Amino acid sequence: MGNAEEGMTQHLGAEQVRLMQGLAREVTILRPEVLGGATVGELAWQFGKDRAAIGDRWRYRLWFCAEGNGRLDAWAWVSLPYTVGRSDGSTATSHSANLTWQVHPDHPELLDEILDWYAEQAAGTDRFVSPQDADTDMLVRLPAHGYTPDTEADGYDGDWHQFNLNASGMPYQAYRKAVTHPNYGFITDQNIDELRRVYNRKFPHKLPSLERFLALVLTGCRGGPYTRGTHRGRSPRPR
């Protein structure tokens, strides 16, 4: 539908942000309940605040109206995993991708294109989407694209996720950090059985990914220490 423009951050300038803000104004009038963080002011603030620090990890796409009037039917903005320095000399790292988007209420079918494009841009990365409760057009599409709400987690905030259980995904990276010196890990058959039970009940379509993940961690985390046992408890600290 219409023409699309996409690119990296060097192309995401003031002109593109103004186009995105134009659609935000229309949605504010027509469906303010689905705005979320994509308001006119929020777009300008995020662009100005983060462009220098993580702008090289941004991707965007614009869907223009078919009428050729220069207005947008939709846009999407992806933030890929990044590491930035802090003022105290430390660093902050994000291992996942996040999507910000907006679609004109007359064209909800573009949400499927947005999710497909997001999957291409953040392939192999844990992906998060945070729809508003009123955004039923997005909510009904997320399961078909492989997203799952973590509704049983404490403090559930509306996020939907698609975890990629591979060596670059968040679960494996978290495990690697937990068992890399000076830390160490202890895995029991009971832990593994519980993982499989939960996945079989909640995420049966993800069982092959879980088995690949277990194959990674049970063969070692690139030299990181771990111990596998058959009971609960702490393993001796590796020497």
Give the mean pLDDT of 50-55: 78
Neighbours of 98 (CB within 10 A): 18
| pLDDT exceeds 80 at position 18 | yes
Nearest partner of 72 among 15, 123, 116, 154, judged by Cα: 15
State both tokens at 16: 């593109």
The pLDDT, as a whole number, for residue 176 is 61
Weakest-pLDDT range from 2-16, 95-109, 112-126, 215-229: 215-229
CA distance 149 to 158: 7
Question: Contact at 8 Å (CB) between 69 and 46?
Answer: no
Give the mean pLDDT of 18-30: 94
Reduced to 3 states (helix: H, G, I; strand: E, B; else coil), residue 200 is: helix
Weakest-pLDDT range from 11-20, 97-106, 221-230: 221-230
| pLDDT exceeds 90 at position 230 | no
CA distance 191 to 233: 11
CA distance 95 to 164: 11
Q: What is the separation of C-alpha 187 from the centre of its chain, rounded to a whole number of angstroms?
A: 28
Structural domains in the chain? 4-162 (3.40.630.30), 170-229 (no CATH)
Owner of token pair 């990181």: 224
Higher pLDDT, 28 or 157: 28
pLDDT above 90 covers a percentage of the chain that reads 27
The pLDDT, as a whole number, for residue 153 is 47
